[in-house]
Amino acid sequence: MLKGEKILITGVTGQVAAPVARALASDNEVWAIARFKDPDVRTALEAANVHCETVDLMEGGLGHLPRDFSSVLHFAVAKTGNFDADLTANAEGTGFLMHHCRDARAFLHCSSTAVYQPNDHELLAETAPLGDNHRPFGFLPTYSICKIAAEATARFCARHFELPTVIARLNVPYGNDGSWPALHLELMRRDKPIQVHANPPSIFNPIHEDDVIAQIPRLLEVASVPATILNWGGSDVVSVEEWCGYLGELTGLTPRFDATTQTIESTAIDTTRMHELIGRTRVSWRDGFRRMVESRNPELLKKDSMSE
């Protein structure tokens, strides 16, 4: 773990950054920026010793923040569906942030495997063609393009400011704060169909929040100029069909699937470079999913599914 650093984290009202901020605040001076529309979220973070400041990256108003951060973890993302607004917040906002924090030791830009053009069931390496894998079916229509644009901004700023940067393309994060798999469990609870791609199986690399937290120090260590780019996900390749089946084993619920072309295609990653640079993940997907259910929906667990 990082210790004794002054760390700036963005996007702390979201699923991924919130547990990161809480974990790092125990041994570091952690500053968190977001719009903080929900005051209860801010209160909870401050109770965990996270210093919170209200900032809207769309406006670029960072002048009141200190500049002496040793590390920056940039998780913020805007998903309004409006291209002008989202490009401003995601791409221009990244530029404002990197300019303000240009003296940091390292900058982590959290991107997404949504930047890739899916190719059947190919495991996508960092050199795979980029594309728009969200807009064709109307789900988060600006997401892929804005993630690509933000990466380009981060690459430029790394070189222009000589700011060591790592761009980590995150796959399917999950844990106690919610996730795509948690949504699937909720659909199962309501006996609603779960969309899977018509070209089965729908494969991904789910990564537990414990591994996200554990790998951040190593990600910062591999930051460089030009920026280091790598995939970031669980070491296990798992399909939506398989993990929903396992959630059914844990709870007794039965998943129903709706095979369609109007959903995300398989976007599993080649983890070779990730393993070389930051190592393998440690939480197996089955253990992680069971822990997720124990934390979020313990009432759904069958008695013989509880951990010892």
> Residue range 130-141: average pLDDT?
84
Q: What is the mean pLDDT of the chain?
A: 95
Instruction: For residue 88, tell me if it sits in a domain.
Output: yes
- How far is Cα 113 from Cα 120, in angstroms, rounded to an integer? 15
Evaluate if residue 270 carries a pLDDT over 70. Answer: yes
**Mean pLDDT for the stretch of residues 89-108:** 97
Query: Is 162 inside a domain boundary?
Result: yes
| Cα–Cα dist 304/274, whole Å | 36
- Percent share of the chain, pLDDT over 90: 91
Q: Are 233 and 274 in contact (CB under 8 A)?
A: yes
The answer to whether residue 57 sits within a structural domain is yes
Residues forming a β-bridge with 101: none
Q: What is the pLDDT of residue 178?
A: 82
User: Considering only CA atoms, which of 202, 307, 300, 196 is closest in space to residue 248?
Assistant: 300
The string of pLDDT tens digits covering residues 37-86 is: 999 999 999 999 999 999 999 888 788 999 999 999 999 999 999 999 99
H helices within the chain, ranges in order? 17-24, 39-47, 83-87, 93-100, 143-160, 180-189, 209-221, 240-251, 272-278, 285-296
Q: Is residue 297 part of a domain?
A: no
Tell me: pLDDT of 98 over 70.
Answer: yes
Domain range holding 137? 6-177+204-235+271-282
Averaged pLDDT for residues 222-247: 98
- Asked whether residue 307 carries a pLDDT value surpassing 60, the answer given is no
Which stretch, 58-67, 177-186, 275-284, has highest mean pLDDT?
275-284
Residues facing 167 on adjacent strands: 109, 229
Do residues 90 and 149 lie in contact, with contact meaning Cβ atoms separated by under 8 Å?
yes
Q: Tell me, yes or no, whether 225 lies in a domain.
A: yes
Question: Is residue 6 over pLDDT 80?
Answer: yes
Question: If you average pLDDT over residues 217-225, what whole number do you get?
Answer: 98
pTM: 0.96
Report which DSSP code applies to 4. S
Domain assignment present for residue 23? The answer is yes
In a domain, 308, yes or no: no
How many separate domains does the chain show?
1
Q: Residue 161, Cβ neighbours under 10 Å: how many?
A: 18
Residue 147 within any structural domain of the chain: yes
Q: What is the pLDDT of residue 61?
A: 79
Lowest mean pLDDT among 43-47, 194-198, 303-307: 303-307
| CATH code assigned at 40 | 3.40.50.720
Look at residue 179 and tell me whether its pLDDT is greater than 70: yes
